[in-house]
Amino acid sequence: MKQESIEIQKLHHFVSGQRVPGTGNRFGDVYNPAFGVITRQVPLAGADEVRQAISVAEEAFPQWMATPVGRRAQLMFNFRDLVRAHIEELAELVSSEHGKTIEDAKGSITRGLEVVEFACGIPQLLKGEYSAGVASGVDSWGMRQPLGVCAGITPFNFPAMVPMWMFPLAIACGNTFVLKPSERDPSCPLRLAELMQEAGLPDGVLNVINGDREAVDALLDDERVQAISFVGSTPVGEYIYHRGTAHNKRVQALCGAKNHMVVMPDADMDQVTDAVLGAAYGSAGERCMAISVVVSVGDEPADRLIEQLIPRLDNLRVGPYTDPGTEMGPVINPAAKERIEGYIDKGVEEGAILVRDGRGIRVPGSENGCFVGATVFDHVTPDMCIYTDEIFGPVLGIVRVRSYDEAVQMISDNPYGNGTAIFTRDGDSAREFCDRVRIGMVGVNVPIPVPLAFHSFGGWKNSLFGDHAMHGPEGIRFYTRLKTITTRWPSGIKEGAVFNFKAGGEH
């Protein structure tokens, strides 16, 4: 596929139920990373365009808030069915702009649908609490009500799943929504918005604005936006958190990671090898829950893992998503490839042992593709940048420690706190690890401990800024606010005025 043979498609925004062309003169290039060619251009919205989308969402809010919760649930059922019916089309959009395999793209869409299915239960999820007779003739109850206009800022690595972690739940709770997807792969989020409209969503409830930092800042600064959800890198997430909260918004910013897998001497090495293959190299390592560090307790687990892993990597099929046999695709664009290969250079300079080198890989028929091969470093130490930095690519580092306690301390001391795992046959070690390690999501013989939609997703420390994790019960709390009502009706009993609080809840 040559660039001169590609007709570049112009993309759009989605506002008030219809496609809207950009009004400015700034555009971003969208690559097909499997072939290294530009296939689309996306308009980068200015602040005025963002404010217009917010106005549309604000205008739609009162009517949508008043929509019966059962009707909102039915719309989510409709949307779920439409996504299932269009999953081939959606997966093709994801793969053609991100590069991941078709099956990986389908899997990510399915994980997003789990949150949609959770949102289908919104009548149950929004049920309040009621207490009769809290005092003489007095009843109290609590209800959760929507915030208003909410916004989501989503990353390039999961252009279907992460938006579906946000807008379905926010909308089911009665909010309206402005989505700012990654400008690197915006086509799938735009298509999802069209499917929501087809499912019966009123105009203006869900709007999609493409853009870069100018669009992000406009969302952060506009007082009409009540809450911001973000998934992306830690520096950007911290910026969004501080700027958003400075404007009195709720912010949940899920950020970077450096996820460790502890391998105990008693671990099932076949299981460990399979886990590392999927967790380190799936989606070319471009996911915040990827395992990028194996912590070997003693030398034997590391030696056995390398012995079993390298032959598997030698047979790993790296190629474009158009090849059904492909197991690992490219990284997102040429800049990402250059950055990742720079980290491999740096790891060699710092003295780590390069067991398998993914630089300079050549894929026949995709010579211009953004491919980085599966890479393994051994004898990595915590002072090396390939340990400290989130590489976000198919690069695995193996750290050797002398004891279990040293492994736990190393993980707990890491400034990131997203996910971790331990592989062992010993229940006592596993239980103690879960209790002791200072990380938000923990797996036992599970390499990527992403919870299902009815639990909540979120890390600790520099992996999450804000008080609420994403989806599950935490998502409901984030997208609603509590209102508590206390009532008393005249009973004919004259008690006179009360000027002080009384014990036992009597007023």
DSSP classification of residue 99: -
497: how many CB neighbours lie within 10 A of its CB? 4
Buried b (16+ CB within 10 A) or exposed e, 215-242: bbbbbbbbeebbbbbbbbbbebbebbbe
- Among 13, 46, 116, residue whose Cα is nearest residue 454: 116
Cα–Cα distance for residue pair 76/342, rounded to 1 Å: 44
In angstroms, the CA 290 to CA 277 distance is 10
Strand partners, 228: 151, 251
b/e map of 43-60 (b: 16 or more CB within 10 Å)?
bbbbeebbbbbbbbbbeb
Q: Which of 150, 255, 288, 370 is catalytic?
A: 288
- Residue type at position 505: G
Tokens coding 323: 């090849």
Q: Assess contact for 26 and 57: CB atoms under 8 A.
A: no
CA atoms of 462 and 288, how far apart (whole Å)? 12
Using the structure block, give the residue that is written with the tokens 């072939």: 35
Which residues make beta-bridge pairs with 486? Answer: 140
Cα–Cα distance for residue pair 103/118, rounded to 1 Å: 23
| CB neighbour list of residue 392: distance below 8 Å, 6 or more residues apart | 157, 285, 286, 290, 336, 340
What is the C-alpha to C-alpha distance for residues 73 and 121, in angstroms, rounded to an integer? 7
Query: 288 catalytic, yes or no?
Result: yes
Contacts of 295 (CB under 8 A, 6+ apart): 260, 261, 262, 263, 399, 401, 407, 410, 411
How far lies 157's CA from each of 78, 104, 284, 332, 393, in Å?
26, 11, 10, 8, 11
The three-state (H, E, C) secondary structure of 14-79, written as one string: EECCEEECCCCCCEEEEEECCCCEEEEEEECCCHHHHHHHHHHHHHHHHHHHCCCHHHHHHHHHHH
Tell me the CA distances in angstroms from 160 to 106, 168, 182, one per residue in order: 9, 12, 11
**Residue 144 to residue 123: CA distance in whole angstroms:** 11
Residues catalogued as catalytic: 288
